[in-house]
Amino acid sequence: MSVGLKKRIRIGFLTKQSSDWLGGVNYFKNLFIALENVDNPKLIPYIETPDDERAKILLKWAKPLELKKEKDAKYFFNKFISRLSGKKFDKNLYFTNNLPIDIVSHSHYFLDKKPAISWIPDFQHIHLTQMFSREEINIRNSHYKYLVENSNIVILSSQDVLKDFKSYAPKYAHKARVLHFVAIPEDDIYAKTDAINVEKYALGKKYFYLPNQFWKHKNHKVVFEAIALLKEQGINVKLALSGNTGDYRHKEYFDELMNFVKSRNIEENIQNLGVVDSLEVYYLMRNCISVINPSLFEGWSSTVEEAKSLGKNIILSNLNIHKEQNPPGAIYFDPNNPGELASILKKKWENSCGGPDHKLEESAKKELPQRISNFGLEYQKIVLDAIRTT
């Protein structure tokens, strides 16, 4: 590899981000901020210019990449050589190969003679086959096989995913690297959330908060069932929801959830806020009784990381991955047991007034700078490792 390690390495992220998966936009935002916080940084991120307005925030921390379409002498020479060799000339690949980058990262395709790092967030399609069509399972398996075989290094989000990877592709276990991402709130997040108008959402001072997107595996229903059980006991708890309501795999899912809410007469207990910006997510987290993540599967939960970085207690499904994330003050429950969750919510509701967890916040403030630095450093090591292996 001709890239010298004395100069900044240009990393290309060649997959456009979309607000359909807000967690993806947040993931890259956090990664780019972490890279800025590394002492003696060796990397410069470049991204395809996003079409989506929410994703354009990434340009604050990464340089834009624009494909140049000029057909110069080099273009025609490569086209001529391809024809002589009997190969099909890929015009888009030619222009992409000539981008001013040294390495490709977290992308779904690869460039000639440039090292590549791919990212596999999880193997949900193996564990929760009922959430996918047979066609999509086959597509995912084919895509993952392509990533594993063609990457120099494969980033995995957790030790839990690494365990799956070693079973899924044992031949390529040497390529695997675990990178725990860290949620990075805005500077002075506590002052900024204090400044948000408390009346905006009319939630009152006591509420639980579930900020997951409405994908079926996020398992909102177990929380609704728990709330319905409590209402039958005369206990009316309040739950705030936020997130994208679309699930491409189960397009009727959100409507099914709302029909359940209506059928159990808990409409006044549940308030859906829709998609809210990241600052208001942190505000809602800070001021709730507890954050809830009832998910049936995660690769590395953004919700958990946000609660950890902010300093907020959280009620979690008892997944191995949630225990690996190990947020302070967490309470775990069986995601298939609404009665167990109802007991937890009842105790919290009766013994908490909501609002900030000051002790957890102070601890989070002290730990966050080092966590951010470690995140950036670990990714930088992975990139340098990928370059050395080519």
8 A C-beta contact, residue 361 and residue 311: yes
User: Looking at domain 9-183+370-388, which CATH architecture does it have?
Assistant: 3-Layer(aba) Sandwich (3.40)
Contacts of 26 (CB under 8 A, 6+ apart): 183, 278, 302
pTM: 0.86
Q: Which pLDDT belongs to residue 57?
A: 81
Q: What CATH class is the domain 189-356?
A: alpha beta
pLDDT at 4: 44
pLDDT value of residue 73: 67
Mean pLDDT by 10 residues, the chain (390 residues): 63 69 77 92 85 76 74 65 68 67 84 87 92 91 92 95 96 96 94 80 88 91 98 96 84 90 95 90 95 95 95 97 96 98 97 93 97 96 88
| Per-residue pLDDT, 389 | 74
Q: What is the pLDDT of residue 17?
A: 55
**Contact in structure between 69 and 95 (CB atoms under 8 Å):** yes
Q: Determine the pLDDT at residue 110.
A: 76
- Listed in order, the ranges of the chain carrying CATH 3.40.50.2000 are 189-356
